[in-house]
Amino acid sequence: MQDPSGWIQAPRVAAGPRGREKSFVRVSGVNTGRLGAGYLRGSAVLGTPFTCDFEDSDCGWQDVGTSTYGWVRGRASLAAWGEGPHSDHTMGTDLGWFLATTSPPAKTTATAWLRSPEMREAAATCEIRTWYHLSGSCESTQGLNQTEQPVLRLAVALKDEVVGLWQSPERSSEGWHQLVAYPGRITEQFQLIFSLTQPPTCGAEVALDDIMFRNCGLSEVEQQVCEAQESRCHRGSCLAHHRFCDGTDDCGDSSDEDVAQCENVTHCSFDHDLCGWEEVAGQPVWGRNTSLNLGTSYGIPTRDHSNNSRAGFFLHLGSGSTAQAGSTAQLSSPTFQATNSCSLVLYCHLHGSATSKLSIFYVTNFTKHLMRERMGDLGSCWVRERVDFNSTDPFKVLIEGVAGSGGTVAIDDLILSQGCVKEQEEPVVMLPSQAGASPCTADEMACDSGDCIAAELACDFADTCADGSDEKRCGTTTFESGAAGWHDVSVGRLRWGLEKVTESDSFLTGTFLALQTGEGQMVGPAKARTPPLGPSGPACTMEMSYHIHSDTQGFLAISVTDHTTGTTQLAWQTQGRGNTTRGRVHVPLGERSRPFQVELLALVDLQGLESVGVDNVTFEQCYLDVVLPTAAELSCNFETGMCGWYQDLSSDFKWVHSTGQGQGSDHTTGSGYFLSVDPSVPWSHGQRAQLLTSHQEPATAPRCLSFWYRLAGPQIGTLNLKLWLEGGEEVVLWTHRGTQGSIWHRAWATLPTTGQQRYQVRTRPPMSLAPARHGVSDTAAWEQVAFEVLHDGFLGDVGLDDITVTAGPCGAELSCTFEVESCGLAASGKGTWQRQSNGTGTTAGPVADHTTGTATGHYMVVNTGRVLLPAGQTAALTSQSYQPSVSAQCLAFWYQLSTGTPGSLRVFVEQSRVKRKVLSMSTMEGSNWHRSHFTIQPDGEWQVVFEAVGAGGDHGYIALDDLHVSDGACPEPASCDFEQDTCGWSSPSDPRLHSFAWGWKSGITLAKYPGPEQDHSLGTRNGRNTRPCPGSLAWPERGRAAGDGWGSPVHSVRPGSTAFLSPFRLGGAAQPQGC
């Protein structure tokens, strides 16, 4: 049935029965008779997106595999950390839907196939954008070639063949990444096919979301009024004169490529020969070939341009064994008469390398005149290019290609206009001789002085060549002497180029980089990139002057791209405002590994006299080991800035310097600044936000780092404090996972002695573990401390404030989850207490810890079987000494005794070497976690001692988790005013309950989490209460709402057991959106 948009959905055959995995639903094969509701419906005409987000259905996408390895529609699984995405791309939560592959068979190579509904023809401007998430890896990659890595591919199925459009880079990183593919002009019905192929040793999974078609429909059929520089297509639309006879069906009815109309142009498709073009002798040479013969390696064209077919011919230049990477291949035309009306249209394909290059010259009397140059990676597509020649002497056209490492340069459809007339008498136009072979190898670059340096040392923000030439063409420029390494990588009708200032402008002077009309056939923003840069230090900033005159649809943006993994991050953008906006912008780039490239993007309507310009670009403080005056300022309340802390801008989402406006109050003053992370903002679809400092001076003595944090949201994720050592070793200093309510909590961690080692406080692993450079000794060691937020897939907030570093180690930890270490608890006696998780433990213990409720969470446990702990023998666990701060303190902890004969648990408080028993437990109902607490009235330092006593049983265990010491007396069992903590009350983690979860907050309301203005206990905004919030958790039964006031509890609980929270209050008509 045809949709009004013009796209067609073919009837589908129902898929056979398949097993289900996780919470996934097998992709349906049921014929709905129309486009699925998951499509964001809209016209498919030029400029209009046509999208499927999988929220309501599979939109007609169908698993067409022949084995159990296939595709399913499902949601994220928060219980299986590291297995697939933790949120979809559309919503950024675990409640959103996507398509994903199932687990592949273990011992055979397998491919999962996914096919779209059948669609009608596509315009030459068609663009397909999809977000994909590739996770997992091979067990061992050493010695494996490229074809043995997991590969995600997108292909188009036509009547007679399947043609590849895109495949994933050889390296990938975690998170959602965007795929962009250009199918070209398709005149028949077609379907798209995604496939994931992986060898037996791999367990990779891929997810797809938000599949979008842009500019795929033909323009509306109507009699348009054409401008002076346009002609009419047969179907009534108008097309610019220079788009006729250019090798692309732009009209949609082929009338612009009519044979009779184009009989005076010279068109070479290379399907039969070189058409009079000549390969210049030397190495390497252009090779005439097809995609069928060249295979499917990354970077190679998947089809020709002339026929959009794997069997079509083109000329290509690779960087394989037959040609040294960086060498130049030349292709020369016949000699043409002097003219001012000769133009060349060709289609180029540069993919796989950030350093490939294609240059177009005309040559007269041994002199080359550069007309156009394309550099970098333009993607897996054919890009239209046009050059006009104006020569008073006979000339030849010379096309030069240089394939960078791992890349391919290809050309097809060379079309010469009627004004390119061959010289009949053939005067001698000699090509200049190629420059002599470079003394440098393929992995080196030549300095202007002739010296050779390692290629990776170019553009690393430090002079390596004696003359500094390795840093001259790296993006810092006024554009007066050229582009300084900036190169246009546009594929559409806009491009970047150099222009002279024509009117007074305080921000643009002399020559600047401007947005110009491009020759590409696609529709989209213009892009210009720097050469590969880096590594950079944490304070690295790009500065530039800019000018934009545009309506609100236009924009100018800066992004950072990693060519190796194919990832791009937006760093800055400004929208048009209907007038002229000028300014100078400072864009933090932060610490990044090599190679990264800075990308300028712009989109305006040049036909409407709109404009964009960029000038005076500099990169400041980017040197890897630059030391700033604030580098040592680790103590920070964030009131006047970030002190010595920096964003890790290569992470997925960011820390924001916030005030209390909608983000809750800060900890310092209640109205000041703090750092916050909100992973629910639209651009936050990754998993990590990280914070770092500069390199620090050696620490000769331990220091205590304290900080205040807030974790709010039913599935907000994890906040880590880590120590990274040179060489990649990781030590977790502190961690907490899950909501702690909209309340500030204090935590401590000891920074260990580093001796004469430098260290850096930061929030992510070392950049690439590359050899030390820039004067750092190869034997120099350093360490890094990391604040890291891991997003768990749901709305929530993380806050950080009042970081303080003091001399000496921290004291006894007042709160311990055992996720990091044993918190100073010392084991003694006959048996052995040990810290473990169920997933990695060596002795019997709980199936899940209490903190995280998962098999990966840690706890302390002792085996009480008679072999390890005979009857009557004890195993003791003693805390460090606690310093009393008030007259009464509350010690709370969770414990679990196994079924059978586990022995007994005794708890003592020791003061002045006198032990007092406060608890004894020997039997319990079921293997669940139970809570106990008791009040201590210390008159000095005190310790807690846990003793497990053997009972002679064959098997058994006793476990402890979540120790917490708070000021003030403990409440009565099951009673709680929620001022210090939740007293053991918790929201049930029942997967069947998806509507609401309880959270803990103060009356100071976060903008997106409405709640009561004051608590009941204190009657103030500073008191705390609990409230329900949507999520994947809920209360076990519904309570009756008590209007907008405080009601009474509807459940009672048994002392010592886990208490369900009941809904005391629902905030009027406003439904809370998080917790």
Count of other CB atoms within 10 angstroms of residue 361: 22
Q: Which two tokens stand for residue 328?
A: 């130049």
Q: What is the pLDDT of residue 205?
A: 85
Q: What is the pLDDT of residue 303?
A: 95
Spatial distance between the Cα atoms of 732 and 666, rounded to a whole number of angstroms: 26
Count of other CB atoms within 10 angstroms of residue 32: 17
Q: What is the pLDDT of residues 626-681, one digit of tens each?
A: 777 777 788 999 998 888 888 888 777 788 888 865 456 888 888 889 998 865 56
Q: How far is CA 445 from the centre of its chain?
A: 31
Q: What is the pLDDT of residue 1053?
A: 30
Which residues sit opposite 675 in a β-bridge? Answer: 657, 800
Closest Cα partner for 242 from 121, 382, 385, 104? Answer: 385
Spatial distance between the Cα atoms of 21 and 99, rounded to a whole number of angstroms: 13
Are the CB atoms for 6 and 44 separated by under 8 Å? yes
Largest CA distance in the chain: 114
Closest Cα partner for 447 from 437, 456, 458? Answer: 458
Query: H or E element: which one contains 947?
Result: strand 943-949
pTM score, whole prediction: 0.78
Q: Is the preceding omega at residue 973 within 30 degrees of 0, hence cis?
A: no
Spatial distance between the Cα atoms of 1026 and 644, rounded to a whole number of angstroms: 36
Count of other CB atoms within 10 angstroms of residue 911: 17
Spatial distance between the Cα atoms of 349 and 384, rounded to a whole number of angstroms: 9
Q: Which two tokens stand for residue 356?
A: 């490939």
Q: What is the pLDDT of residue 339?
A: 93
Spatial distance between the Cα atoms of 914 and 975, rounded to a whole number of angstroms: 31
Count of other CB atoms within 10 angstroms of residue 130: 23
Are the CB atoms for 283 and 326 separated by under 8 Å? no
Spatial distance between the Cα atoms of 693 and 680, rounded to a whole number of angstroms: 25
Q: Identify residue 715 by its one-letter amino acid code.
A: Q
Taking CA atoms, 720 is separated from 42, 575, 1037, in Å, by: 44, 36, 35
* CA atoms within a 13 Å half-sphere pointing along the CA-CB vector of 305: 30
Q: Which two tokens stand for residue 916?
A: 């007092």
Spatial distance between the Cα atoms of 137 and 131, rounded to a whole number of angstroms: 19
Task: Extract long-range pairs of 498-505: CB within 8 Å, 24+ residues apart.
Answer: 499/613, 505/547, 505/582, 505/613
Q: Which two tokens stand for residue 506?
A: 């305080």
Are the CB atoms for 590 and 536 separated by under 8 Å? yes
Low-confidence ranges of the chain (pLDDT < 50): 1-48, 81-82, 140-147, 321-323, 662, 683-684, 761-780, 991-994, 1007-1009, 1021, 1025, 1027-1075
